[in-house]
Amino acid sequence: MEKDLVEYIAKTLVDDPSEVFVNQIEGEKSTILELRVAADDLGKVIGKHGRIAKAIRTVLSASSTKTGKRVVLEILD
């Protein structure tokens, strides 16, 4: 579910939605989501001073409270 959420948010932010890829790595107590976008769209996903990235992480944190697992978002360049 979190993977779909990150993918949806990222695709609405970028100019090239076909280049949005989210890789999910499951652990025992946490889940790592690796977000990869086109090089030109990297700034749109991170935002000024990382504000958009922080907002995405906040939404992820809220959505993961019902599963009890910690979700980590990594934005890859």
Q: What is the pLDDT along the chain (77 residues), one digit of tens a residue?
A: 889 999 999 999 999 999 999 999 998 889 999 999 999 999 999 999 999 999 999 999 998 888 788 999 999 98
What's domain 2-76's architecture? Answer: 2-Layer Sandwich (3.30)
Residue 59: the pLDDT is 93
Tokens of 71: 């979700």
